[in-house]
Amino acid sequence: MSAIVKICGLKRPESLEAALAGGADMVGFVFFEKSPRHLDLAEARRLSELVRGRAEKVALVVNADDSRIAAIVEALAPDWLQLHGAETPERVAQIRASFGRPILKAIGVSEQADFLCAPDYEAVSDRLLFDAKPPKGAVLPGGNGLSFDWTLLRDHACMAAKKNWMLSGGLDPENVGVAIRLTGAPGVDVSSGVEDAPGEKSAAKILAFIAAARAA
């Protein structure tokens, strides 16, 4: 069975259509003003209509309060909420209960110790996303084009046989097959790895990424 494929940080109809035509399982939209992939609510409504059930919609937020999440849910009608900030397990549980959406919780990784929090988040999330931990001083919590040592994940016993996680960070059409084979990742997530410039998606790279992930 092929890995779940998520294309994140979509902003324009043409790149969204490439992801949908290529068969992406999940399409992600970023609601974080510091990101070059930030989407306003009016455009979110427009893009939401274009999906029309062809893939699952994911709304990415970073330490957002309830009023902000409510506005995003109203505009996008997401199937998932992706929490990509410093949300505690308690906050994750509260968001899940309040909004009735499955939660994809991002965990930054740079060393084996970063997996210690995984069980606490796994208990209150529907799926975990292991991403490269941003460097000190970075503005963005993800989408930095960085990867981490994938052997850390392969060797992390508690996730080895589970299917409720995804791999992100530094993936692109050239390395996603290796990443899947090395880690056994049941899902992969890409943003900067299918761009020509920050926030500017390449339809050709999107299609190549999906094909490479399927082939793996």
Burial level of 135, CB count in 10 A (0-12/13-18/19+)? exposed
- Of 26, 125, 43, 41, give the one whose Cα is nearest residue 84: 125
40 is catalytic: no
The active-site residue out of 40, 131, 155, 172 is: 131
Helix (H, G, I), strand (E, B) or coil at 199: coil
The tokens for 130 are: 């292991």
158 is catalytic: no
115 contacts: CB under 8 Å, gap ≥ 6: 107, 109, 152, 156, 158, 159
Q: Which residues are catalytic?
A: 8, 131
